[in-house]
Amino acid sequence: MSTTTPEAPAVQRRKHISVPTPQVPRKRRSPEEIAAATTVEGPKRILLAAPRGYCAGVDRAVVAVEKALERYGPPVYVRKEIVHNRHVVDTLTEKGVIFVEEADEVPEGELLIFSAHGVSPAVKQTAQERGLQTIDATCPLVTKVHREAVRFTTKDDYHILLIGHDGHEEVEGTYGHAPQSTTIVNGPWEVDQIEVPDPDRLIWLSQTTLSVDETMETVQKLRERFPNLQDPPSDDICYATSNRQAAIKKVAPESDLVIVVGSANSSNSVRLKEVAEEYGAKRAERVDFANQVDESWFTEAATIGVTSGASVPEVLVQEVLRLLADYGYGEPEEIVTAEEDIVFSLPKEIRKALQEAGHEDVGRGGRKRQD
């Protein structure tokens, strides 16, 4: 008698569904109550850091998703968050974007967009095997680091010390371009534990959204241990990260409170809060939305500095400024430390699709977005 082994039931993967975060109104203490409890004297000032908010790479990625929705209609799939901002992700979700963790969650043949943080070759290979149509919205400045990783390991035979946060999407993507020849260094505290194959064939690269000061501290400690450590041909920390940190360094010393608008998983937003504290702000807080600002902070703050991370739409900053005005703070005084005029073309895949559809305006990144 023949027997057959019953097939195991198919395992159903959990579908990743993005649900917009509801904004719950806060019951606030009145401006009069806060004024009565205030312990500081003098005019109530706002120092508004500039540059702040959207950078060219973020704008390019968000516009790419919006244009894909216009061209193909929903659903459009995006691997990870297109940028690290709750408002942006929630808004795109409402328009029909489905955010997934990995490419193998996307139905075969569908459209998948890679986020601004970049991906490894292995992720692209998975997408190709599934027959997915893809749009690569990786920030061009991140792509530059990917190319450096390939060049220095395959042509120049260097081992890379990649300064960045292990587990961050950008670091995973860069590491994936040369996994056998890359060591991740989270910060200066890890330098003494690093083991390398040849101390005379080393070069450092970095995540683009790090603290400039901490990165340089890490490089200094690495060079003390490995004197022949080579520098990358140009700075890997992006212009927007550097500029926003420079601006808050100017604002922080005069501020009793600094409010950073940005999400918790946004590396550059978190770094802005840290930089504000390091450079003299008496207090620094990070919020996603104005309704997360605690008015009790104002009782000890005559001067409030305001900035936002590189993935934050300006509308969120303006909501914070309106709240501050309600509590008696004056017109913002903008502290400008740099002017930004960088723009990036949209990803070639979406430009081609739009041109084939007869669109004359294929769009560019780098604008100050209000939505």
Whose CA is closest to 230, among 207, 256, 203? 203
Those residues with Cβ within 8 angstroms of residue 108's Cβ, 6 or more apart along the chain or in another chain: 130, 131, 132
H or E stretch including 160? strand 159-163
Residues 65, 350: Cα–Cα separation, whole Å:
9
Tell me if 217 sits within 8 A of 274, measured CB to CB: no
Residues 284, 281: Cα–Cα separation, whole Å:
7
Residues 106, 77: Cα–Cα separation, whole Å:
7
Whose CA is closest to 267, among 353, 165, 151? 165
Residue with tokens 């390991």: 153
Beta bridge partners of 161: 183, 204
Of the CA atoms within 13 Å of residue 307, those in its CB half-sphere come to: 37
SS3 for 369? Answer: coil
Tell me if 252 sits within 8 A of 280, measured CB to CB: yes
- C-alpha 210, offset from chain centre: 10
Q: Is 7 a catalytic residue?
A: no
Residue with tokens 């990070």: 286
Whose CA is closest to 113, among 145, 67, 149? 67
Active-site pick, 81, 169, 170, 295: 170
Active site residues: 170
